C-alpha cells in the first residue's frame, strides 16, 4: 500500500448485492453479486482506469462511491472519512467534492433546461457563489474551460452535438471544483474523431486544475490505457488485476487480462500479423449464478483443478502489481 495520506479515495472490501425476488410476497431467492469484495485506491492527481465487459460491475462500483446505491458491506474512504457512514446531508456535501460524468450525453442532460442552468445548478445547490454577478462569471468561466462559447448558454441540449453535450456534462461536473470525478464510459457514445477531443480535454483539465483525480470507467481497453496511470481489470464483480498502464500491456499476468488485451485489435496490420490472438471460449456467466472458485475458471486456458474450489484473493506481486489468480 502507498502512503495513506496521499490517497484521495480508498475502497475497501466493497460488496453490492442486488436481491432477486420472486412471487407475490417478493421473497428473496438469490443475489446478483454485482460487486464482490472490491478494494482499490486512487491517489491525488491520479487517474485509475476500471475496465471490464458489460455486467462486470464497473458502473456499480462508481455508483456505490457516489452513494447512488447503498452497498451491503465495505468502506469508501474519501479524504479520510468513510462516506458510507455519512448522513444524507453529509452525502450531499460530499457530492460537491465527487462529481460524475455519464455515458450518454443524449439522456443525461435535462432536455427542458438550457445549458446555462444545467451547468449552473450545482453552483446554486452547493451555494458556491454569493451574488448573481459571481454566478454569471463562474458560469462563463466553466463554459470557457471546456471549450464552449459562453454565448451558447441559452441553448437547449438538443441544439448541441454529442461532443458538445459531453462538454456540458463535464462543465457541470467541474462546477463545484471537485477533487474526484467518476467518468462512466464518457466517450463510448461519441464518434472516433470526437472521442479524441474529449479525451484530450479531460487530460488538459487534470494538468490545469491541481488536485483532480479521475476514476475512468470504460470497456475500451485502448482508451483506458491511454488516459489512466493505473488500470484495474474487473470480471464478474471482482478485480482480477491492478497495475500501472505500461505494465498492463507489457506484462499482463492474469489470463483474463491477457485474453482481453488480445481481443482488442490494434490499428496496424504489421503489428496484428505478429500478435497472438487468444480467443476465449464461451461467454461471461450470469452474475446471479457465478461459478464456484475463481469466476473465470470455466473459460480460462490455464485453469487447474484447485481453481474450481478456491476463490483467489488479490495479492501483490510487487509494489505496483496486484493479481487475483492461483496460477500466477
Partner 1 sequence: MSVLLDVKNLTTQFNTEAGIVKAVNDVSFQLNEQEIIGLVGESGCGKSVSQLSVMQLISAPGKITNGEVNFEGRNLLDYESNSDEMRAIRGGKIAMIFQEPMTSLNPTLTIGRQLTEMLELHLNMTKEAARERAVELLKQVGISGAESRLDDYPHNFSGGMRQRVMIAIGLSCNPRILIADEPTTALDVTTQAQLLELMKDMVSKYNASLVIVTHNLGVVARYAHRIYIMYAGNIVESGTTEEIFANPQHPYTKGLLKCIPRLDEEKGRKLVPIEGLPPNLINMKSSCAFAPRCSERLERCLTEAAPPLRDIGNGHYVGCFEK
- What is the contact surface with partner 1 in residues (CB under 8 A)? 53-54, 161, 163, 191-197, 199-200, 219-223, 225-227, 245-246, 249, 259-272, 277, 279-280, 283-284
Residues sharing a CB contact under 8 Å with residue 102, sequence separation 6 or more, in sequence order? 108, 169, 184, 185, 186
CB 284 to partner 1: min, Å: 7
What span, in angstroms and rounded, lies between the C-alpha atoms of 61 and 57? 6
Nearer to partner 1, 91 or 194 (CB): 194
Distance of CA 300 to the CA centre of its chain: 25
User: Which cell is 318 given?
Assistant: 510487487
Nearer to partner 1, 13 or 188 (CB): 188
Q: For residue 217, what are the β-bridge partners? A: 50, 184
Nearer to partner 1, 43 or 222 (CB): 222
Q: Cell 462486470 sits at which residue? A: 56
Nearer to partner 1, 118 or 223 (CB): 223
SS3 109: coil
Nearer to partner 1, 166 or 179 (CB): 166
What span, in angstroms and rounded, lies between the C-alpha atoms of 88 and 81? 15
Residues sharing a CB contact under 8 Å with residue 25, sequence separation 6 or more, in sequence order? none
Nearer to partner 1, 90 or 286 (CB): 286
Nearer to partner 1, 259 or 307 (CB): 259
SS3 50: strand
What span, in angstroms and rounded, lies between the C-alpha atoms of 324 and 306? 14
What span, in angstroms and rounded, lies between the C-alpha atoms of 263 and 221? 10
User: Which cell is 311 given?
Assistant: 476463490
Residues sharing a CB contact under 8 Å with residue 127, sequence separation 6 or more, in sequence order? none
User: Which cell is 11 given?
Assistant: 475502497
Cα dist from 253 to 216, 265, 307, whole Å: 22, 19, 16
CB 94 to partner 1: min, Å: 32
Amino acid at each position: 500500500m502507498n502512503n495513506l495520506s496521499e490517497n484521495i479515495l480508498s475502497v475497501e472490501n466493497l460488496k453490492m448485492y442486488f436481491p432477486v425476488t420472486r412471487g407475490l410476497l417478493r421473497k428473496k431467492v438469490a443475489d446478483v453479486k454485482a460487486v464482490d469484495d472490491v478494494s482499490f485506491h486512487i491517489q491525488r492527481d491520479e487517474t485509475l482506469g476500471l475496465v471490464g465487459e458489460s455486467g462486470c460491475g464497473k458502473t456499480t462500483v462508481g455508483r456505490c462511491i457516489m452513494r447512488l446505491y447503498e452497498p451491503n458491506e465495505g468502506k469508501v474512504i474519501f479524504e479520510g472519512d468513510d462516506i458510507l457512514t455519512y448522513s444524507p446531508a453529509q452525502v450531499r456535501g460530499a457530492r460537491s467534492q465527487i462529481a460524475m460524468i455519464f455515458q450518454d450525453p443524449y439522456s443525461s442532460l435535462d432536455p427542458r433546461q438550457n445549458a446555462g442552468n444545467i451547468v449552473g445548478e450545482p453552483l446554486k445547490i452547493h451555494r458556491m457563489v454569493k451574488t448573481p454577478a459571481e454566478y454569471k462569471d463562474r458560469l462563463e468561466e466553466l463554459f470557457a474551460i471546456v471549450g464552449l462559447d459562453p454565448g451558447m448558454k441559452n441553448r437547449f441540449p438538443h441544439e448541441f452535438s454529442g461532443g458538445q453535450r459531453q462538454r456540458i456534462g463535464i462543465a457541470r461536473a467541474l462546477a463545484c471544483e471537485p477533487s474526484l470525478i467518476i467518468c462512466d464510459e464518457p466517450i463510448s457514445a461519441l464518434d472516433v474523431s470526437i472521442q479524441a477531443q474529449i479525451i484530450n480535454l479531460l487530460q488538459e483539465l487534470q494538468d490545469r486544475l491541481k488536485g483532480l483525480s479521475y476514476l475512468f470507467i470504460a470497456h475500451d481497453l485502448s482508451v483506458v490505457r491511454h488516459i489512466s496511470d493505473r488500470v484495474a481489470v474487473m470480471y464478474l464483480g471482482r478485480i482480477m488485476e491492478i497495475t500501472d498502464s505500461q505494465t498492463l500491456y507489457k506484462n499482463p499476468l492474469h489470463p483474463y487480462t491477457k485474453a482481453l488485451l488480445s481481443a482488442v485489435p490494434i490499428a496496424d496490420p504489421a503489428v496484428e500479423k505478429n500478435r497472438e490472438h487468444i480467443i476465449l471460449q464461451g461467454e461471461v456467466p450470469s452474475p446471479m449464478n457465478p461459478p464456484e472458485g475463481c469466476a473465470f475458471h470455466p473459460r480460462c486456458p490455464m485453469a487447474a483443478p484447485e481453481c474450481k474450489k478456491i476463490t483467489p484473493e488479490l495479492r501483490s506481486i510487487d509494489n505496483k502489481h496486484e493479481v487475483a489468480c492461483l496460477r500466477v
